[in-house]
């Protein structure tokens, strides 16, 4: 099987902003060209993609713990205060018979960030061991990861809206709690992590293995 003709093999770099194909000298640490059309910085591959993605991924994983263990909001009603974590919010919906909604929240707030982190970790490792298997599937996996990440923001918005609506003093008051901040951080970090990963690396690893 002949090696595929890639941009990098022909010293052609595609501008990540305007898609202009630019012929540029092989990467030199001091040399940094800019796109002649839109002046965006030109990189054959995203700068230090693997290390940046690992750093952001690990940071997200670390913050995932307090995001789930700490309460995200507190409801105070007639003297009684009740704090809710993301999971206890899900359980509340289940107990009240709202199964479909509980499932939506569980998937969006608990499952998606976890799965997204696992997928990114898998993609990173698969590139670093120079795997040549399932290239197309891994690329599709990456695209999916990029798309679903933002859905985890649901809980942050729910807290925001509940805080806006329920401000009735002693009768009923809802406030945000620290868990929400950690959770927001996890969403932001995983978004950046997915953005810093260069899917072309998946295919580069396969190039080296071909005759």
Partner 1 sequence: MVHPGGLLACHDCDLLNREVEVPAGGALRCARCGSVLYRHKRDSLDRTLALTLAALVLFVVANLFPFLAFEMSGNLTQTTLITGIDQLWDQGWYLMSGLVFLTAIGAPALQITLLLYLLVPLKLGRTPWELARIFRFINRIQPWSMMEIFLIGILVSLVKLADMANIVPGLAVWSFGALIVVMAGAVAVLDPRVLWDRVGAFE
User: Would you tell me which residues interact with partner 1 (CB under 8 A)?
Assistant: 4-8, 10, 12-14, 16-21, 36-40, 92-93, 96, 98, 101, 104-105, 135-136, 139, 142-143, 150-151, 153-168, 171-172, 175-176, 180-181, 184-185, 188, 191, 195, 199-200, 202-204
DSSP string covering 137-166: HHHHHHHHHHHHGGGGGHHHHHHHHHHHH-
Alpha helices in 70-131 (DSSP H): 86-95, 99-105, 112-128
Instruction: Please name the helix (run of DSSP H) or strand (run of DSSP E) that holds residue 190, with its range, or none.
Output: helix 178-196
CB of 156 to partner 1, least distance (A): 6
Of 130 and 143, which has the nearer Cβ to partner 1? Answer: 143
Q: How far is CA 44 from the centre of its chain?
A: 23
CB of 129 to partner 1, least distance (A): 19
Instruction: Compute the distance between CA of residue 29 and CA of residue 48 in angstroms, rounded to an integer.
Output: 12
Instruction: Compute the distance between CA of residue 141 and CA of residue 25 in angstroms, rounded to an integer.
Output: 32
Cβ(210)–Cβ(131) below 8 Å: no
CB of 1 to partner 1, least distance (A): 12
Residue 28: Cβ within 10 Å count: 9
CB of 4 to partner 1, least distance (A): 6
CB of 136 to partner 1, least distance (A): 6
Of 57 and 180, which has the nearer Cβ to partner 1? Answer: 180
Of 65 and 172, which has the nearer Cβ to partner 1? Answer: 172
Of 61 and 202, which has the nearer Cβ to partner 1? Answer: 202
């Amino acid at each position: 099987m002949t090696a595929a003709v890639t941009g990098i093999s022909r010293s052609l770099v595609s501008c990540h902003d305007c898609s202009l194909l630019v012929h540029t000298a092989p990467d030199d640490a001091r040399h940094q060209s800019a796109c002649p059309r839109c002046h965006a910085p030109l990189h054959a591959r995203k700068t230090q993609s693997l290390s940046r993605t690992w750093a952001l991924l690990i940071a997200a994983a670390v913050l995932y713990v307090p995001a789930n263990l700490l309460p995200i909001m507190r409801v105070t009603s007639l003297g009684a205060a009740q704090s809710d974590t993301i999971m206890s919010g899900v359980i509340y919906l289940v107990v009240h018979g709202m199964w479909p909604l509980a499932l939506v929240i569980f998937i969006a707030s608990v499952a998606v960030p976890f799965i997204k982190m696992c997928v990114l970790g898998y993609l990173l490792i698969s590139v670093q061991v120079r795997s040549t298997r399932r290239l197309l599937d891994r690329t599709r996996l990456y695209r999916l990861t990029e798309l679903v990440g933002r859905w985890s923001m649901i809980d942050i918005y729910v807290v925001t809206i509940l805080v806006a609506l329920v401000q009735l003093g002693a009768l009923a008051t809802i406030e945000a709690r620290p868990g929400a901040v950690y959770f927001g951080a996890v969403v932001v970090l995983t978004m950046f992590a997915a953005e810093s990963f260069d899917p072309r690396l998946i295919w580069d690893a396969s190039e080296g293995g071909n005759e």
